[in-house]
Each structure stands twice: as structure tokens, then as C-alpha cells.
Amino acid sequence: MKLKAKFPAAAAGPFYAELRKRVNHHFKENQISPNANFSMWLKTIIFLLSYVILYLVILIFPLNLLSLALLTILLGMTAAFVGFNICHDAIHGSFSKSKKVNKILSFLFNLLGANPYVWNITHNVVHHTYTNIAGHDEDIEVAPGLIRIAASDELKSFHRFQQWYAFPLYGFASLSWVLRKDYKKFFQTSVGAHANNHPKIEYFNLFFYKALYYFLFLVLPMLVMDIAWYQVITGFIILHFAQGFTMGLVFQLAHVVEGTEFPLPDAKGNMQEAWAEHQMNTTANFATNCKFSAFFLGGLNRQIEHHLFPKICHIHYGWISKIVKTTALEYGIVYNENKTFPLALRSHFNMLKKMGRT
């Protein structure tokens, strides 16, 4: 097993201690719950209804192939939005103060083709602790070997073209997830430096809910829809290409852009910086003040705030970002930010281009 990276003992140094104090004071002073509010519940209903309605329209109504393809793309994107806005917060335990509510909403992840238990390990435990540390953070490995994102990765001749071929590859992320990734991560002896030791019930959950998803999105359409079996499979691929491209792009723009770092531990596994400073240096925001992005991306465009406060519902990240940015500047800590989505996209493109060369 890999040597586990360790952050300095003063993980909650003066910056993070002061930041938490200010954020907690704001909640207390304004008598605000750190969990979901009315707006959060409203958009939860909107995204869930959209997902169910799109699925039923595709399944039941006799539509031509072009209409089916367009609706399938929309369904794939909506699946990503459900994951961003509902499941992500629920699995972090930030959606509600009720563990039961969080567990119920976490279950929805199964209906997107992903396993919430495996996601909790790879994302909550590993990615949020060892962000952008090669060999530890497997969340940033969208296409290992094919896409080079850190100087520690092996450079191959074809990487000089990766700024062009990487984007289509992101589209296959969800398909890989639903058919391969969850099984692979589950049966690995470890994820990064985290040793796997699963409860027996999770073996059942993995295979049962995967089978349920395959039935709902492959078998049932073949039984109900008046189209050929290979057209159903084509639709399944289109669905996951749209879902994967949406997810992959959003996650990459938060960690693989100019300005973010990919630090490595020393020979003893020690990291140089405290955990909070590490998060600031390895994470970036994009379209921070864009209400459209905030609504659809579940706060993932405000990734800095999410990494520092994963137990706070993303609906509050708007005002938290102002406190984080002000405090960071006071302590001389970098606040990585691309003001708009196009700027973040260009920065990611430039990063891929840079990493594809010596």
C-alpha cells in the first residue's frame, strides 16, 4: 500500500481557524442553518421532476430517433445536475442535519448509475483529503496514461495533442463509471493510501443496484420502446456521453487549470503545507458570481468553498466565498479564480497543452 501523505500537525493553522470563526459567526448572527433552505429544496424538486419526466417521455411516447437523441442528451445532462445538486451534498452529509434524509437522497446516486458508497471513499475520504496529490487523489485521473495533468506523470509523445483529444474523452467518463470504475475501485485493496475494508452489505448493494440501473436504462427500454435493441444501446451511450462530458468538464475546471498545484509528499510522506493552505493551492473557482452556474452546478463552480466547508450545503457558498476570499487575501494566501466559464475553459486548455510538452 502507498505511504499515506501527512499534513503538518497545525492543520488548522491561523488562516483556517480565523476563517471558520468568521463563517460560523455569520451563521449564528443571522440565525441561518448550514443545511438546505427553501431554495435548495425547490431546486431539488425541479431537478428530480425533470429527470423523471424526461425518462418517462423517452420511454413511453412514440418519438422519432432525432427527438429521442436530443431528449437523451438532455436526460444525461440532467443526471449530472442531479448528481451535482442533490447527491453530492447528501453524500457529504451537508444537505440535511438528518442522517436519514441524507441517506435517502444519497440513494439517488444509484439511479444515475453510480455507487454512493464507492463515491464516498474516492471523493469524500480520499479526494478531499489528498487533493491533487498524484498517487493518492484518483478522482482527478479521468483517463490515466492518456491525459497527463501533473509533472510527476510520465510524458508520452502523443500527450502533445491532449489539449484536443481530452475533451471528447471526458464524455466517456460516465460510461466507464457505470460499467467499470465502481467495480474496479470497490475490489482494489486500496484507493490511494486508503485501505479498502467493506461491510458485507455493500457487496450486495453494489451488484443489486447496478443490476437495477441496467434494467431501467437498458432492459426496460428494449421491452417497452418500439425501436431496435442496438438503438437502445446507442441511446445508452449517448446518455452517458452527455452525462460524462458535463461531469468531467466541471471537475477538471476546478482542479486542472493554470495556477493550481500538484504537490508531492517527501520520502517520509510529509506535506509541506497545512491542509487548508493545500486546498487553496490545489483548487480553483470559476464563474464564481454567475447565478446560472451556481444553480446548475451545485456549487462546484465554487470549489474552494466546498473543499474548505464540505459539511455546509452549497446553497450558502455565495456569501461564504466573499468571506473566504477576504480572509485569504488578509493572510497572503492565493485565491485561484477564473471569473467566467470561457476563461476557465481556456485555462484548462492551456494547462493540458503545457503538460503535454517537456
Confidence band of 56 (pLDDT split at 50, 70, 90): very high
Residue 1 has pLDDT above 80, yes or no: no
Q: Are the CB atoms for 20 and 286 separated by under 8 Å?
A: no
User: pLDDT tens digit string along 320-330?
Assistant: 999 999 999 99
DSSP 215: I
- What are the backbone dihedrals phi and psi of residue 272, each rounded to the nearest 5 degrees, phi first? -75, -35
Q: The pTM is what? A: 0.93
What per-residue confidence (pLDDT) applies to 68?
A: 96
Question: Residue 8: which pLDDT band, with cuts at 50, 70 and 90?
Answer: confident
| Model pLDDT for residues 232-274, shown as the tens digit of each residue | 999 999 999 999 999 988 999 999 999 999 898 888 888 888 8
pLDDT score for 287: 94
pLDDT surpasses 90 at 144: no
Q: What is the pLDDT of residue 208?
A: 97
Buried residues in 106-143 as b, exposed as e (16+ CB within 10 A): bebbbbbbbbbbbbbbbbeebbbbbbbbbbbbbbbebb
Strand 194-195 and strand 190-191: pairing? Answer: antiparallel
What phi-psi label fits residue 250: left (phi over 0), alpha (psi between -120 and 50 degrees) or beta? alpha
Can you state the percent helix, strand and coil of the chain, rounding each to 5?
65, 5, 30
Following DSSP, what letter does each residue of 141-206 receive, concatenated? Answer: -SSTTTS--STTSPP-GGGGGHHHHHHHHHTTHHHHIIIIIHHHHHHSSEETTEEP---HHHHHHH
Most confident of 46-50, 123-127, 290-294: 46-50
Alpha-carbon distance of 352 to 314, in angstroms, equals 29
